[in-house]
A and B are shown apart, each in its own frame.
Chain A
Amino acid sequence: AQSVSQHNHHVILSEAASLELGCNYSYGGTVNLFWYVQYPGQHLQLLLKYFSGDPLVKGIKGFEAEFIKSKFSFNLRKPSVQWSDTAEYFCAVNARSGTYKYIFGTGTRLKVLA
């Protein structure tokens, strides 16, 4: 069965600090990988996604993620966070076969201090 693990549940950073949020998945087949962000009081929206090609994916607002197949990981990074990045971040995986079900990680709550 598919599963997604996000190891950091709460992260607190100061503005301009670098960010890396971990995401590991468990699935033997080919997957699509996503990071979604949920700003306070808002709905989830896509930050970036990986389907194929260059494993280093760039998303909106300066975020990027790297797919490392051998490690089943898709970590999210940002070199310098801003106060406005305060949000909940969700990693998601969906298999490219079968039911194509989305599996979301438990989320990481990021708080950026001004």
Chain B
Amino acid sequence: DTAVSQTPKYLVTQMGNDKSIKCEQNLGHDTMYWYKQDSKKFLKIMFSYNNKELIINETVPNRFSPKSPDKAHLNLHINSLELGDSAVYFCASSNRGNTDTQYFGPGTRLTVL
């Protein structure tokens, strides 16, 4: 059983395009996150939603827009993709607010050409 799933696993696209990444968790967690991992493996939080409410919004370009239709889903839409957006994007979820263990999805490798 997949706990945190992401689609697609790989995404190759041209600069200027708009793309979305979807995330779903079946753990019953109340909090979900998006992280960006760059080529040097540095992992940085982008957004966090608790019970569908945005609680963390780091300094990311407003071309990135998260959307949480319900507690089990957190999608990431990216407008006007740039070369620097190339990275692996990880979705994660946790329970009891943000104090518990994070469960990560398999990642989406985004390549912008």
- Asked whether A101 lies within 8 Å of B45 as measured between CB atoms, the reply is yes
- Asked whether A43 lies within 8 Å of B106 as measured between CB atoms, the reply is yes
Does B28 have its Cβ within 8 Å of any Cβ on chain A? no
- Asked whether A34 lies within 8 Å of B101 as measured between CB atoms, the reply is yes
| Bound complex: CA A9 to CA B93 (Å) | 27
Determine how close the nearest CB of chain A comes to the CB of B40; give it in whole angstroms.
8
Q: Which residues of A contact B42 (CB under 8 A)?
A: 104, 106-107
Determine how close the nearest CB of chain A comes to the CB of B48; give it in whole angstroms.
7
One of B33, B35, B106 near A42 (C-beta < 8 A)? B106
Count of residues in A whose CB is under 8 Å from the partner chain: 25
- Asked whether A101 lies within 8 Å of B104 as measured between CB atoms, the reply is no
- Asked whether A96 lies within 8 Å of B101 as measured between CB atoms, the reply is no
Does A94 have its Cβ within 8 Å of any Cβ on chain B? yes
Interface of A is mostly: strand
Does A111 have its Cβ within 8 Å of any Cβ on chain B? no
- Asked whether A44 lies within 8 Å of B56 as measured between CB atoms, the reply is no
Kindly identify, within residues 92 to 113 of chain B, every residue whose CB is under 8 Å from any CB belonging to chain A. Answer: 92, 97-99, 101-107
- B102 and chain A: residue at smallest CB distance: A102
Q: Which residues of A contact B97 (CB under 8 A)?
A: 100
| Bound complex: CA A90 to CA B48 (Å) | 19
- Asked whether B55 lies within 8 Å of A99 as measured between CB atoms, the reply is yes
- Asked whether A107 lies within 8 Å of B98 as measured between CB atoms, the reply is no
Does B77 have its Cβ within 8 Å of any Cβ on chain A? no
Does B63 have its Cβ within 8 Å of any Cβ on chain A? no
Q: A42-B106, A44-B90, A99-B55 are in contact. Are A49 and B101 (CB under 8 A)?
A: yes
Q: A104-B43, A106-B42 are in contact. Are A99 and B105 (CB under 8 A)?
A: no
Determine how close the nearest CB of chain B comes to the CB of A9; give it in whole angstroms.
9
Kindly identify, within residues 64 to 113 of chain B, every residue whose CB is under 8 Å from any CB belonging to chain A. Answer: 90, 92, 97-99, 101-107
CB pairs A–B below 8 angstroms (14 shown): A34-B102, A43-B104, A44-B90, A44-B92, A44-B104, A49-B101, A88-B41, A100-B97, A100-B99, A101-B48, A101-B98, A102-B98, A104-B35, A109-B41
